[in-house]
Structure 1
Amino acid sequence: MASFDEAPPGNPTTGAKIFKTKCAQCHTVDKGAGHKQGLAKSEWTFGRQSGTTAGYSYSAANKNMAVQWEEKTLYDYLLNPKKYIPGTKMVFPGLKKPQDRADLISYLKESTA
């Protein structure tokens, strides 16, 4: 598995398309929007510890993982969320292509800044 250090440069425009097709069913990045089935990404920021956003019902696995979300950890998580955090309630199977993960992270960084 390639690490984030070896990831290709991300494209936020392509990442927005990936978010729309793969993530928007359960998540939103709109400021002030509430949580959907998944955590509102407008409430999620790089540097936040997993399982700590107020008002969202996390799985015990997510709370106990206590991962600091940053590009590297998100890159690894997005490959296979259930493997990265066993017991997570997130049903998303992951993004296998390094470019897709880099693009999505680039978009998330831009849209949640």
Structure 2
Amino acid sequence: MRAFAGLILAACMASAATTASAAPDKGAALATQVKAGEAIYARCLACHALAYDRTGPRHCGLFGRRAGSVKGFNYSDAMKHSNIVWNEKTLNLFLSNPTKTVPGTTMTYAGVTSQKERSDLISYLKQANTSPECKK
């Protein structure tokens, strides 16, 4: 019985050590993903900005916002009536093929075909939405 208890204790300690060492790796992986997403966001800068409207609407406040709802921005009827609320899932779908996801959108960008690039971009946008630029 004592040997069994020792095995359980050793297994718990090994599990705790693995969890503790995995935490920094997870943070580093997220930082790498956000950095990659920032590079991908450079493509978006032709029409969008984080904190102000350009040809496309601003991205600050994107998550949880209803599509077509930024005050003063002139959206297509298709976007205004899409009933999309932006979250990771809806953004991933839209970014994969904007004109297929919202037929009639005025966003003419073909989309981000790579799932990894979309994931990186979404990670960047989530992080950017907590930045000082978006808190103004």
Q: Which amino acid aligns with 2:45?
A: A
Q: Comparing both chains, which one has the higher relative contact order based on Cα–Cα distances under 8 Å and sequence gaps of 6 or more?
A: 1
1:17 and 2:39 equivalent? Answer: yes
Runs of 4+ with deviation above 4 angstroms: none
Aligned residue number for residue 6 of structure 1 = none
Measured in 1, the distance between the counterparts of 2:118 and 2:107 equals: 17
Q: CA deviation at 1:61?
A: 0.0
| Superposition map of 1:1-113 within 5 A | 11-20=33-42, 22-29=43-50, 31=51, 34-42=52-60, 44-113=61-130
Measured in 1, the distance between the counterparts of 2:94 and 2:101 equals: 5
Please report the RMSD computed on the Cα atoms of aligned residues, expressed in angstroms: 1.4
Percent pairwise identity: 37
Measured in 2, the distance between the counterparts of 1:99 and 1:84 equals: 19
Q: Which amino acid aligns with 2:44?
A: C
Q: Which amino acid aligns with 1:16?
A: E
Measured in 1, the distance between the counterparts of 2:109 and 2:120 equals: 17
Measured in 1, the distance between the counterparts of 2:94 and 2:33 equals: 19
Measured in 2, the distance between the counterparts of 1:41 and 1:47 equals: 11
How many matched pairs?
Answer: 100
Worse overlay, 9-18 or 55-64: 9-18
Give unpaired runs (5+ residues) of structure 2.
1-29, 131-136
Measured in 2, the distance between the counterparts of 1:39 and 1:23 equals: 11
Q: Which amino acid aligns with 1:19?
A: Y
Q: CA deviation at 1:66?
A: 1.4
Measured in 2, the distance between the counterparts of 1:38 and 1:50 equals: 12
Q: CA deviation at 1:45?
A: 2.1
Q: Which amino acid aligns with 1:105?
A: I
